[in-house]
Amino acid sequence: MDTDYEDEYNRLQDMFPNAQFSICIDLEYMDELLTDKKFIIVKQPYTCYCYDNCAKNTDYFYIKGHMTYRHIIEQLIEQGLSLNCNHHFLEGFCTTNVSDCQYEMVLGS
């Protein structure tokens, strides 16, 4: 494992010890704002092939506050986000076409 990558991975583990998913967002972005809104909804749609044989309803996480990546991740952990499929790497967030305050997680495997 590359030592820079390993160091960043370990720092993210220390920063978010209770995460039930892997965080693949660079440390340099943790204190950057995702949005200047004070309230957002993060959507977990369960649309990947991992759920083909056991359909799940969409989950929504309601987040208030100063919307840095760090704060959003902390709130997702506090609200019990668990990524129990092949796509357990949180890589970021993207807006949905439903609302400018709704975001969907970008997940990878």
pLDDT values of the chain reduced to their tens digit, one per residue, 109 residues: 578 888 998 899 999 999 999 999 999 999 999 999 999 999 998 787 777 777 778 999 999 999 999 999 999 999 999 988 887 899 999 999 989 999 999 998 8
- The whole-number pLDDT of residue 87 equals 77
- The whole-number pLDDT of residue 56 equals 79
Say if CB 69 and CB 25 are below 8 A apart.
Answer: yes
Measured distance CA(13)–CA(88) in Å, rounded:
14
Q: What sign does the dihedral 35-41-47-53 (CA atoms) show?
A: positive
The strand order across the sheet containing 22-23 reads 22-23, 89-95, 102-108, 39-44, 59-64
Length of the chain: 109
How, if at all, do strands 22-23 and 102-108 pair? unpaired
Which pTM was predicted?
Answer: 0.91
